[in-house]
Amino acid sequence: MSSDYPVPARLLPHSYPFVLIDKIIERKEGKSIICLKNVTFNEAFFQGHFRDNPVMPGVLIIEAMAQASGLIISAEQQSSAFLGRVSEARFKRAVVPGDQLVIKASLIEEFGPLYVFEASAHVQEVIVAEAEITLTIS
């Protein structure tokens, strides 16, 4: 599937303020996804991280990559996916208000209830973070 569309609530069990995906740009069921997160100054986390130099927390970038990864398999699963492991995480540049975070994820392995993804976050086609994300299905 390839098109711009908002994230349907049935695909992502999170709700405001914890939805970190604004739009699905491209989705290949069971294989890969590209999503968008518009990073605005109004995000609650910018009030305290950091007051004079607002930066999106790395853990929220990881969570955005995990949510995108979960969207790859969400339609084929009847249960929720939970973050099981984050490995090889690297942060290469700060994400600040006004950035458009493009999140890319691909399924690389499946072991029963465990799904392993290669995920990256980009701003203006430059990688700002990357990690291997493992999700487990309950």
Instruction: Determine the residue type at 115.
Output: Y
Provide the residue range defining the domain that includes 70: 2-137
As for how many domains the chain has, the answer is 1
Enumerate the H helices of 44-83 as residue ranges: 58-73
Q: Is the pLDDT of residue 24 over 60?
A: yes
Catalytic site includes residue 122: no
**Stretch among 10-19, 52-61, 62-71, 79-88 having the lowest mean pLDDT:** 10-19
The mean pLDDT value for 59-64 works out to 97
Q: Could you read off the pLDDT of 26-36 as tens digits, one per residue? A: 999 899 999 99
- Percentage of residues in the chain having pLDDT higher than 90: 70
81-132 pLDDT, tens digit per residue, is 899 999 999 999 999 999 999 999 999 999 999 999 999 999 999 999 999 9
Strand partners, 24: 5, 35
41 within 8 A of 54, measured Cβ to Cβ: yes
Among 22, 49, 84, 132, the active-site one is: 49
pLDDT at 52: 86
- Which uninterrupted H or E stretch holds 85? strand 81-91
Please tell me which of 15-19, 43-47, 131-135 the model is most confident about, judged by mean pLDDT: 131-135
Q: Is the pTM of this model over 0.85?
A: yes
Residues 6+ apart with CB under 8 A from 1: 26, 27, 28, 29
* pLDDT reported for residue 2: 46
Residue 85 belongs to domain with CATH number: 3.10.129.10
* Cis omega (within 30 of 0) for bond into 50: yes
